[in-house]
């Protein structure tokens, strides 16, 4: 039982560290017109979109779902520390 609790705790901490590092989850919806909508869930909900804010690149994807990180691998809170310059 204690081993299962430790495994769950490690998985939760990895998820938290991934989120703080700027990681997120994305869902891509293909539209009939050939375009697509990209929905992203990140810890940083009020970031401006690229080019003013960070742009995100897929690091792992399965179908319409993917894990994303900032393309420059710089966590968004670094931009906040520099006065909002991403």
Any domain includes 86: no
Is 30 inside any structural domain? yes
- The whole-number pLDDT of residue 44 equals 80
Beginning with the edge strand found earlier in the chain, give each strand of the sheet holding 65-70 in spatial order. 36-42, 24-30, 65-70, 56-62
The string of pLDDT tens digits covering residues 42-77 is 888 777 767 677 788 889 989 899 999 888 888 877
Domain count, the chain: 1
Residues 6+ apart with CB under 8 A from 53: 47, 76, 79, 86
Residue 13 lies in a domain: yes
Range of the domain at 25: 2-81
Give me the pLDDT at residue 54, please: 73
Lowest average pLDDT, out of 15-19, 23-27, 30-34, 80-84, goes to 80-84
Query: Of 39, 44, 45, whose CA–CA distance to 20 is shortest?
Result: 44
Which whole number is the average pLDDT over 18-30? 90
Helix (H) or strand (E) run with residue 28 in it: strand 24-30
pTM of the model: 0.73
């Amino acid at each position: 039982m204690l081993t299962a609790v430790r495994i769950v705790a490690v998985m939760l901490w990895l998820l938290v560290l991934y989120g703080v590092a700027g990681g997120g989850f994305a869902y891509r919806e293909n539209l009939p017109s050939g375009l697509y909508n990209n929905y992203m869930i990140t810890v940083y909900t009020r970031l401006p979109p690229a080019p003013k804010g960070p742009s995100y690149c897929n690091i792992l994807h399965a179908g319409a779902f993917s894990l994303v990180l900032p393309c420059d691998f710089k966590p968004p809170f670094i931009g906040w520390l520099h006065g909002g310059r991403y």
